[in-house]
Amino acid sequence: MELDKMDENDWKYHGEGNKSLVVSHVQHPRVLRLLKYPAEDSENPPQTAEQAYRQIQNIVDFSSNVMSSLLGEKFIHSGEVVKLPLEFVRQLSIKVQHQRPAWRCDKVMDIYSGCALCLPNLTSPALHQPTHTPPLCIEIKPKCGFLPSPKHVSKDIKTKVCRYCMHQHYKVANGKWKRRSFYCPLDLFSGNRQRMHFAIRHLIEEPQNNFKVFKGGQCIYSSKEGSDESPDMNSLLHHLRPYFLHTNNRMNSHVTSKAVLNDFIQVLVNALLSSGGGDGSVVADRQAEGRGFCEASIFNKERIRHGSRGLPSDSVLFRILQTQMLDTLDIEGLYPLYRQVEQHLQDFPKERTRLQIEGPYNEAFLEKLQKCPSENDGSVEYAVAKVHQYRVAMTAKDCSIMVALVPSSEEEEDNERCENKILRKINTTVYCLSSQRQLRDFRPPAFSYSASILDLDPKPFDSIPRQLRLDQKIVSCYLRTGGALPKGPVREKEDCTLLFHPM
């Protein structure tokens, strides 16, 4: 990317969140992420170019030095800070303005600093050799996958119903969404195939902001933000059908929509459970035993045919869950420590730098949170370490997973099948997940896959009081609106044999 030859016509609107706007290159798999300001600050930017540069560099440092160590380097793309020509940024802002959702236009793109974060476009992966069908990319925002310990919470309901399921009641009550999602993160993080299949199906049925499907870099399925319309499931199945028509080396045009959906979900389950080339050992977290079922989930636990052993230790879900569980105190148990740190900083303002409240996010920061004592010794160092742990855990609770699936060519599938026969003879483990019954007349599609974790910004120190207030509102609303969701029947699914070749 030649920064001195930037042309706004080479870039298109890709999406935006609360704090940044993203554009993607029309030819190369690159995106630029630019900061946003409140509209009232459009002519008076709230920070200098140097401060904007430091803000973005902090995001890069936090991702590469902290989250990469905790989540695994293979899952992380930290990107780099770039300085763009100001005229290019101004013209780009004008170009994308009409493509932005109206409800996002209370903020404007930063056109003053020229700073941006350059990242790979994970919706357009260039994996293996090109095939006739473009790659699929699925973005999942899994949310928090465990229940807090009863030791630090004031309301018993928090130890029985997960934050996501309670938050659904709050969002519906406040008009953010018209319908509740029946997705439960604890089902996805369970490691049990039935529960994971169930969770993903409900993500698809009511994706909200937690599930998107991209085909060849274009978003083909998501909830329309700010809209009451349900996403078009038939349109999604129309896009997916070509990827799941090959059975027994023949094109089967009569594959049902239910079969296509089940196969698609099973592919996702396999990718999320993949050890990604690691040892693949399964770890059961004894500390979290009893904290892996949510009473609001409509999954009928009695229908589980095979017990959950847990998640593979090198899978993307396991790494995210372990990082989320750095939050050992819940926001209620953490808040007194936050107040201790806040008071210390009021008394000794210069301590902000030593305690790394706003970074730098380097090895010393990581060491602070990793070497935090297990017991509170009353020191401000302990309090700061617990606050840092909570902030990192919150990032992991709010991250997204991008699963890229590239269909193999017929030649690749034939080669893979032959290789598998040889590998099985020499008793080498192949990531081939079999059904509980022998489906001899069915050979499923093969995909190359990769998983990445994105949205890894550091959470601000001063956001903790707001988090406590939100937590109190969510719990209060849930208790007021009648508690757990009504139980419903679980539709049975067919397990499929799906073959992967790790990248």
Give the tens place of pLDDT for each residue, 217-231.
899 999 876 566 788
Q: Which residue has the higher pLDDT, 45 or 54?
A: 54
125 closest CA partner among 497, 447, 395: 447
What does the pLDDT average to over 44-57? Answer: 92
What does the pLDDT average to over 361-378? Answer: 94
Of all helices (H) and strands (E), which one includes residue 316? helix 316-324
Whole-structure pTM value: 0.86
Q: Look at the chain and count its residues.
A: 503
What local confidence, expressed as pLDDT, does residue 317 receive?
97
Task: Please state the φ and ψ torsions of residue 224, each to the nearest 5 degrees.
Answer: -80, 115
Q: What is residue 10's three-state secondary structure?
A: helix
Query: Domains in the chain and their CATH numbers?
Result: 3-120 (3.30.200.110), 136-310+399-452+490-502 (no CATH)
Contact status, residue 401 vs residue 451, Cβ threshold 8 Å? yes
In which residue are the tokens 């803000």 written?
55
Positive or negative, the Cα torsion across 106, 109, 112, 118? positive
Of all helices (H) and strands (E), which one includes residue 24? strand 20-25
Contact status, residue 265 vs residue 197, Cβ threshold 8 Å? yes
What local confidence, expressed as pLDDT, does residue 484 receive?
45
What local confidence, expressed as pLDDT, does residue 5 receive?
80
State how far the Cα of 277 lies from the Cα of 429, in Å rounded to an integer.
11
Check residue 357 and report its DSSP letter.
B
Check residue 111 and report its DSSP letter.
-
pLDDT of 189 > 70? The answer is yes
Confidence of residue 127 (pLDDT cuts 50, 70, 90): low
State how far the Cα of 469 lies from the Cα of 363, in Å rounded to an integer.
32
Q: Which residue has the higher pLDDT, 391 or 408?
A: 391
Residue 2, token pair as written in the block: 């030649």
Contact status, residue 475 vs residue 166, Cβ threshold 8 Å? yes
State how far the Cα of 142 lies from the Cα of 134, in Å rounded to an integer.
25
Contact status, residue 409 vs residue 366, Cβ threshold 8 Å? no
Q: What is residue 495's three-state secondary structure?
A: coil
State how far the Cα of 231 lies from the Cα of 204, in Å rounded to an integer.
9
